[in-house]
Structure 1
Amino acid sequence: MRSALERIHGRVDVHSAFAPLETATGVIVPLRVGAGSPLPYVSSALVLKCAFIAEESIGMRVQHNWHADCPTAPVAPVLWLDGSDVACSAVMYRADTSVSLGFDSASTTLLCERIAALHDAQPHSHTGLFTSLSQRFASLLHHPLDGPYAQLLRVGAEFARELLAEPLDVTYLHGDAHHGNLLYFGVAHDRQTREGARQWKFIDFKGLHGESTFDYCNLMFNPQLAFAARLDVFTSRLELVVHHLEGLHNKPMRERYLRWLVAYGCLSAAWHQEDDNLESVEGTLAVVRNAVTALEL
């Protein structure tokens, strides 16, 4: 992290502003901009993110390249990037954390709109960084499913195989689009044009490739599992997302979306099971059971 700060300071005149925040996969350091910084926007709110695992490093590269290819897409820009696919450091704008997505229908609608805008602005460079959905589902499809949740996980695996075999609208995906990864960056002013725009942009890309419907699944499990599992919340959100998807595809999408929810939820539960996080397994499968019930299986 120190070497990354030294390299950044040598190029863009930024300094550590607060103590680093350690995460499970790296370190985040709030930064302040020096007087000689050539950064294109008037802003002192920057952050250095150092990723120490391959998935996070590749995700930052995907985010950097996607914004470079499609500057108007809802992608938080990466101002400086250094490292490899194994360990990587990046400087980005710091989001306005006083504004965030909540538990209301407006947040669900905004997420759907931003996901659609992201899919409309597809990257065209370094696409080899993206992982196929078939690879992403490996923990559900290629590992033994046993224990008290095995029956439900097998249903999810069956749905995943069917959906992956005949995908609809294949595209490049964020891969982890939910309330915590769509952030508000306020009004950013360009030094030359002095123009600003309110910006809700995605961070923490996974960089997947497959059916676009997949990107609408994670929001149904957020921002808190206990809240997402409430039947009234699940039902109202389901109608909002299905209405959005049917508007995009001009065809019925309810059953297909519910099957994706079951498949994705079972994949997530399988990951939690690998980590021995039984509380998250139960919470995730509570949402999955709502989807299974809605399918009338």
Structure 2
Amino acid sequence: MTGDRLPGLQARWGLTDPTLVVETHSSLIYRDGARCLKLLKPAGLEEMSGAALLDWWNGDGAVRLIDRSEDAMLLDWIEGPPLGDRVRATGDGGTFDGLADLILRLQAPREAPVPELTSVERHIGQLFEMRDADLDRPKALARDLLATVPHEVPLHGDLHHENILEGWDGWVVIDPKGLVGDPAFECANLFRNPEGRLDLAIDPARGDRLAETLSTRLGHPKGRILAWAAVLCAASRSWNAVAGRDTTDDRLLLSVFLDLHDRAGGSLTA
């Protein structure tokens, strides 16, 4: 059992009173004062790639990783709520520039060697295995995007409003996938979030404003950002289909983002 490992980690890291806060399909999250213990289940072991990225970021724009084992992480406890809480309650107002600032901070060069991370191509690989005519266009877009990557950078890989906490010292990210690839890929998941506000995600005017802000601030072609948003939607649809989950929202969002991509001119490089 996952919890059976707790006493050993408690002794190793000097935890005094770890209290279970939440359990997910992939992990158990404990709080011990100012520290957080994330104990991974077998379904969550892929998150160790994200732990390597947290180590590389060293607390700059991301939660600080204090230590790790082969299946657990000791992190700073971040008190602040997820950005999604604010956007669900009051809308996007003032957040687009903050999101661009955060991406710039995460992608800033660092002296430490880049750790071994998962490629974006491998991450979305399930999409290419799907036999579904409705996915032919996003599959072609994905191939074109992967063939025209300007340069590769470390990526959070799952950057959205629930993985951004509003801490006392600004926004910090949690739960990175730990990918490497096209810098513009980091924007993709922002368009379909936050959870519980599908009305925002399907609003073409909102999507266009977000893409315009990110393009201007980050220097990526607007069409490229929107193409990645569509491709990630298609990848999500493939993951949900294989898992037997509902794909209704994926289908709707894919249509919205493809249309936005076309309206932006359809170019991936200009």
Q: TM-score range by the shorter chain?
A: 0.7 to 0.9
* Superposed displacement of residue 171, structure 1: 1.1
Paired residues of 2:165 and 2:173 also in contact (CA < 8 A): yes
Match status 1:95 vs 2:78: yes
| 1:4-83 equivalences in 2 (<5 Å) | 4-16=6-18, 18-32=19-33, 45-52=34-41, 53-67=44-58, 71=59, 73-83=60-70
| 1:226-265 equivalences in 2 (<5 Å) | 226-231=198-203, 234-249=204-219, 253-265=221-233
Cα pair distance change 1:158/1:246, threshold 3 Å: same
State TM-score, norm by structure 1.
0.77
Paired residues of 1:156 and 1:262 also in contact (CA < 8 A): yes
Match status 1:267 vs 2:235: yes
In structure 2, the residue matched to 1:200 is 171
In structure 1, the residue matched to 2:99 is 111
1:57-105 C-alpha deviation (Å, 9 max, x unpaired): 22223212331xxx5x20110122122xxxx111212222446342313
1:259-280 C-alpha deviation (Å, 9 max, x unpaired): 22211111111111111111xx
In structure 2, the residue matched to 1:217 is 188
In the alignment, the residues of structure 2 paired with residue 99 and residue 171 of structure 1 have an alpha-carbon distance, to the nearest angstrom, of: 25
Q: What SS is found at the alignment partner of 2:99?
A: helix
1:142-175 C-alpha deviation (Å, 9 max, x unpaired): x1323xxx32x11110000001011124211110
* Superposed displacement of residue 235, structure 1: 2.0
* Superposed displacement of residue 7, structure 1: 3.2
Cα pair distance change 1:122/1:5, threshold 3 Å: farther
* Superposed displacement of residue 248, structure 1: 3.0
1:233-292 C-alpha deviation (Å, 9 max, x unpaired): x4224323323323432x7x22222222211111111111111111xx211222221122
One-letter amino acid of the counterpart of residue 101, structure 2: E
One-letter amino acid of the counterpart of residue 244, structure 2: D
Paired residues of 1:221 and 1:229 also in contact (CA < 8 A): yes
Q: Percent identity?
A: 21
Q: What SS is found at the alignment partner of 1:222?
A: coil
Which one has the largest radius of gyration? 1
Cα pair distance change 1:11/1:287, threshold 3 Å: closer
Paired residues of 2:57 and 2:106 also in contact (CA < 8 A): no
In the alignment, the residues of structure 2 paired with residue 123 and residue 155 of structure 1 have an alpha-carbon distance, to the nearest angstrom, of: 39
In the alignment, the residues of structure 1 paired with residue 130 and residue 244 of structure 2 have an alpha-carbon distance, to the nearest angstrom, of: 15
CA RMSD of aligned residues (A): 2.3
* Superposed displacement of residue 11, structure 1: 3.9
Paired residues of 1:9 and 1:15 also in contact (CA < 8 A): no
Aligned residues: 253
In the alignment, the residues of structure 2 paired with residue 116 and residue 284 of structure 1 have an alpha-carbon distance, to the nearest angstrom, of: 28
In the alignment, the residues of structure 2 paired with residue 3 and residue 255 of structure 1 have an alpha-carbon distance, to the nearest angstrom, of: 47
Unmatched segments (≥5 aa) in structure 1: 33-44, 187-197
One-letter amino acid of the counterpart of residue 144, structure 1: M
| 1:49-198 equivalences in 2 (<5 Å) | 49-52=38-41, 53-67=44-58, 71=59, 73-83=60-70, 88-98=71-81, 100-101=83-84, 102=87, 103-122=91-110, 124-125=112-113, 127-128=115-116, 130-141=117-128, 143-146=129-132, 150-151=133-134, 153-186=135-168, 198=169
State TM-score, norm by structure 2.
0.84
Match status 1:287 vs 2:253: yes
Q: What SS is found at the alignment partner of 1:217?
A: helix
